Homo-oligomer: A and B are copies of this chain.
Amino acid sequence: MKILDGKALAKEIKVELMEKVNQLSLAGKKVPHLAAVIVGNDGASRTYVGAKVRACEEIGFNSTLIQLPSDISEADLLEKVNQLNQDNDIDGFIVQLPLPQHIDEKKITLAIDPKKDVDGFHPENLGRMVLSLPGFLPATPAGILEILKRYDIPTEGKHCVVVGRSHIVGSPMSIMMGRSSYPGNSTVTLTHSRTENLKEITQQADILITAIGRPGYLKADMVKEGAVVIDVGITRIDAPETKSGYRLKGDIDFEDVAPKCSFITPVPGGVGPMTIVSLMQNTLRAIELKAN
């Protein structure tokens, strides 16, 4: 059993990105500029956005953090999105989800210029993904592809089972793994809350990707011997013995499942760090796409 070390990979890719930024600077070209919009004071959201801005700084990207009050109107937020769409200095931007209940997230997502949608959530980018046209891939599934690629894991003809059909992970992941490319060319099964006999299906997976947010849900008897297991779930569970009072747990019962796997991602330190790096890669890509 080998650990798929997302943390180490993410570091490696950050160094590569730094080198690319250096090259751009030396050539007198524009350095990528990411803006992140955060509405309100949700703790988890602030942590995520903070990590994204910090990653920009590490790599040498420019970044702008736009903090808006939780009672901002939908119209004002749309106006802000529009300003960012038109700001030539901003190459890509994200609006951190979730948004307060009085704001329609779909409306905001649709208002973002697909060419600056580095989260890859706009329908135009999802459709481009289906058709394998140039565009932005959603960050988490793109990070998983990067893990598979950098660990040279064969995917062609393998049976990949995705558990969970969220719009930002499970659904796009299932589409990406079935496309004619590497990583990809897998036979893909997408399962979800309505799936009957989940165990029968996960047992068939050569590559098992879980994104349901149910800590420790998948046990060894649901996993095939030698499977590659990718755990996207990150749930905080109480842990009074720790300083923070909680620890992070994935969808996979790691201790139970790991001995059966050929490869497995830990939680934390697996998929998580790759998501931010994918966002950075998308931001660099925004400059390249603009140049074409």
| Chain B residues whose CB sits within 8 angstroms of the CB of A201 once the complex forms | 159, 187
CB distance from A155 to the nearest CB of B (A): 9
Q: Mark A159-177, 1 if CB is under 8 A from B, else 0.
A: 1000001010001101100
Q: Tell me whether A259 is interfacial, beta carbon within 8 Å.
A: no
Could you say how many copies of this chain the assembly holds? 2
A interface bracket (residues with beta carbon within 8 Å of B)? 35 or more
Interface stretch of the complex, out of A40-48, A56-64, A118-126: A118-126
Interface stretch of the complex, out of A66-74, A190-198, A236-244: A190-198
| Chain B residues whose CB sits within 8 angstroms of the CB of A174 once the complex forms | 178, 188, 190
Q: Tell me whether A98 is interfacial, beta carbon within 8 Å.
A: no
Instruction: Find out whether the CB atom of B167 lies under 8 angstroms from the CB atom of A131.
Output: yes
Q: Tell me whether A127 is interfacial, beta carbon within 8 Å.
A: yes
The residue on B at minimum CB distance from A161 is B189
A195: which of B124, B131, B187, B195 is its contact (CB, 8 Å)? B187
CB distance from A189 to the nearest CB of B (A): 4
| Chain B residues whose CB sits within 8 angstroms of the CB of A128 once the complex forms | 123, 127
Instruction: Find out whether the CB atom of A165 lies under 8 angstroms from the CB atom of B178.
Output: yes
Instruction: Find out whether the CB atom of B196 lies under 8 angstroms from the CB atom of A192.
Output: no
A187: which of B127, B133, B186, B192 is its contact (CB, 8 Å)? B192
When chains A and B are docked, how far (Å) is the Cα of A133 from the Cα of B171?
14
| Chain B residues whose CB sits within 8 angstroms of the CB of A122 once the complex forms | 127
Instruction: Find out whether the CB atom of A187 lies under 8 angstroms from the CB atom of B187.
Output: no
The residue on B at minimum CB distance from A155 is B194
Residues of A whose CB lies within 8 Å of any CB of B are: 106, 110, 122-131, 133, 135, 156-159, 165, 167, 171-172, 174-175, 178-180, 185-192, 194-196, 201
A-B CB proximity, top 10 nearest: A123-B127, A126-B127, A127-B127, A189-B189, A157-B196, A187-B195, A185-B194, A123-B128, A124-B124, A178-B190
The 26 listed contacts between A and B (C-beta, < 8 Å) are: A106-B131, A123-B124, A123-B125, A123-B126, A123-B128, A123-B130, A123-B133, A123-B135, A124-B127, A126-B126, A126-B130, A127-B129, A130-B171, A130-B175, A156-B194, A158-B196, A159-B196, A159-B201, A165-B180, A171-B175, A171-B178, A174-B188, A178-B190, A180-B192, A186-B194, A188-B190
Known: A127-B127, A156-B194, A187-B192. 18 other contacts (CB 8 A): A122-B127, A123-B123, A123-B124, A123-B128, A126-B126, A126-B127, A127-B128, A127-B129, A130-B167, A158-B196, A171-B178, A174-B178, A185-B192, A187-B189, A187-B191, A187-B195, A187-B201, A188-B190
